[in-house]
Structure 1
Amino acid sequence: MPSTNHTTTILVIGASGKTGRRVTDRLVAQGRRVRPVSRSTQPRFDWQDPSTWSPCLDGIAAVYITYFPDLALPGAAETVDAFARLAVARGVRRLVLLSGRGEAGAQRAERYLQNSGADWTIVRCAFFNQNFDENFADSVRHGVLGMPAGDTAEPFVDADDIADVVVAALTDDRHIGEIYELTGPRLLTLAEAAQELGAAIGREVRYVPLSAEEFGAELGAHGMPAADATHLATLLSEVLDGRSSHTADGVWRALGRPARDFADYAKDTAETGAWRLETLAS
């Protein structure tokens, strides 16, 4: 099996994120040399500060690229292009990009990556299962899941599946030049997902459709900067408009196994206590 050398170092951008920390853990478990970076690490990596990029690339052979806060936001693709060109100039051979489905900005970033001169792999992902316990845990915990999705169905994908595909792409030459579209094995509306979450938790969780404006206000109320909240709310309402309401075989193509089902995610996550209501001290 052709693969990158264990003595080379792999850069993981966004190492504290949903997929970044899972990718880092898997690479470390394989005995790989890993440099996990974010805005809080040393060396520090900040997409908005290009002066932080070059120090992170010293001695790097491969990079997992995740853009924060979202690859589809204005200017994100051009920023990724600038980073990819710098990485190739610094001797990086392999680039693996976390991308989205049906997003014009993400597709532009993909084209930049393909033209970078590096060996590339693109991992396009549906809406993450883990958004429900890492981003919207309070909503699920209190039984009301409000999102701008109407009755659209989405093939929610598990972050562990994404991490497994990314690690394979970073370490095995068979994945060079591949675009993997990752989804779960079936479509669920948000109302159906809420029902499955409730079944796993043991109490009702109901879905409440919100407008993009209402959802943006919710994000802002939780501390997200107003501009980012508006962009992300609008983006989510667009992406969840039905354009991605179909499953894909990317997990099977990359790993030779089925994708994880949402019900299994909900059951396993409920057992960790992620959605447990805290008992008030008497």
Structure 2
Amino acid sequence: MDPSFWTMDRLTTAGLTEVMPTNETTTNNRAPGRTLVLGGTGKTGSRVLRRLRELELPARAGSRSGEPRFDWADQTTWEPVLRGVTSAYLAYSPDAGFPGAADTIRSFAKLAAESGVERLVLLSGRGEAGARRSEQAVRDSGTEWTVVRSSFFAQNFSEDFLVDGVRTGVVAFAAADVGEPFIDVEDIAEVATAALTETGHAGQVYEVTGPRLLTFPDAVAEIGEACGRTIDYLALTPREFEIGMVEQGLPADFSAQLTSLFQDILDGPNASLADGVQRALGREPRDFADYARDTAATGVWNRGT
């Protein structure tokens, strides 16, 4: 899943608006056409851009702060970012399962195909009916396509709306006491990069999860262990969570939509493992404990950060 809290352009990627190769590197004998990365300053997009840079493949970040500028809500910004592009990574904001997302993605995918884009890779959400419609929109585009269908991001605890709770010692969230296979966004980015640059991924739906199920209290406890201190989990009702978002200044309709999405995906239907990382990359996904240990070492969870 990819709700807006973890797809918003909250990370900066200075110098990554346009990445050009230093040589004519190819991957699996595929010519290095330019790749557009939408959501290029977000959690997955910034990491996809980094990998493309490491492969010395030309890439363009699509974001509201990019040049040329890109905005899902402003179709006049679409054509400029598609010029010279042969493949594109689509991370829709606020979420591929939100109302209207499928129609917008369908329009963009159609324009991309008309502009000469040959391959689209969509970041989708696990267990979201609306996201399935967005997936179909990409399938209908006439390009090669790959879907990366994601579970809940581990990095939501360190790079987004749960980080302050970890720092203060109380993580408050509306999630039932069921298992969630938290996925490391590094794995998502590696799967997406493979789909963008290698052969053999066209027509695939990679449902990506971590290697085990944890409840939210379990995950918070593992973060506390990695930090060397006690961090509590406070279970909120969906209504309490929604009211809290509004009190923090988020629009009421957005807060209601996001709360509804969380209710759908965090109440049991995703309490199972999938093999998308294994199929795409030929290895096991990264474990949550490894994420917690490495992230704690950065100091991002220190009190007063």
What's the TM-score bracket when you normalise by the shorter of the two chains? over 0.9
2:81 corresponds to which of 46, 56, 78: 56
1:122 corresponds to which of 147, 167, 184: 147
Match of 1:132 in 2: 157
What TM-score, normalized to structure 2?
0.89
The residue correspondences of 1:67-146 to structure 2 (distance < 5 A) are: 67-135=92-160, 136-146=162-172
Shift of 1:226: 2.6
Shift of 1:153: 0.9
Q: Is the 8 A contact 2:127 2:264 kept in 1?
A: no
> Letter of the aligned partner of 1:140 in structure 2?
V
What TM-score, normalized to structure 1?
0.96
Q: Which moved more, 1:150-159 or 1:205-214?
A: 205-214
Shift of 1:145: 1.2
**Residue 230 of structure 2 is aligned to residue 210 of structure 1:** no
The residue correspondences of 1:146-161 to structure 2 (distance < 5 A) are: 146-161=172-187
Tell me, in whole angstroms, the C-alpha distance in 2 between the residues paired with 1:248 and 1:232. 24
Tell me, in whole angstroms, the C-alpha distance in 1 between the residues paired with 2:251 and 2:57. 37
> Letter of the aligned partner of 1:266 in structure 2?
A
SS in 1 for 2:200: helix
**Residue 52 of structure 2 is aligned to residue 27 of structure 1:** yes
Tell me, in whole angstroms, the C-alpha distance in 2 between the residues paired with 1:114 and 1:173. 17
CA RMSD of aligned residues (A): 1.2
Q: Is the 8 A contact 1:99 1:106 kept in 2?
A: yes
Tell me, in whole angstroms, the C-alpha distance in 1 between the residues paired with 2:239 and 2:108. 33
Aligned length: 278
Shift of 1:227: 2.0
1:18 corresponds to which of 35, 39, 43: 43
> Letter of the aligned partner of 1:86 in structure 2?
L
SS in 2 for 1:174: coil
2:203 corresponds to which of 172, 177, 182: 177
SS in 2 for 1:233: helix
The residue correspondences of 1:182-201 to structure 2 (distance < 5 A) are: 182-201=208-227
Query: 1:153-180 CA deviation, whole Å, 9 max, x = no partner?
Result: 1000000000000000000121111100
Query: 1:214-267 CA deviation, whole Å, 9 max, x = no partner?
Result: 112233344433322221122112110110000011111100111000000001
CA shift in 2, pair 1:4/1:224, >3 Å: farther
Query: 1:72-116 CA deviation, whole Å, 9 max, x = no partner?
Result: 110001100010001001110000000011101100111111111
Mark the runs of 5 or more structure 1 residues left unpaired by the alignment. none
> Letter of the aligned partner of 1:100 in structure 2?
G
Match of 2:254 in 1: 228
Percent of counterpart pairs with the same letter? 50
The residue correspondences of 1:231-246 to structure 2 (distance < 5 A) are: 231-246=257-272
Q: Is the 8 A contact 2:180 2:215 kept in 1?
A: yes
CA shift in 2, pair 1:94/1:3, >3 Å: farther
> Letter of the aligned partner of 2:184 in structure 1?
D
Shift of 1:3: 4.8
> Letter of the aligned partner of 2:179 in structure 1?
A
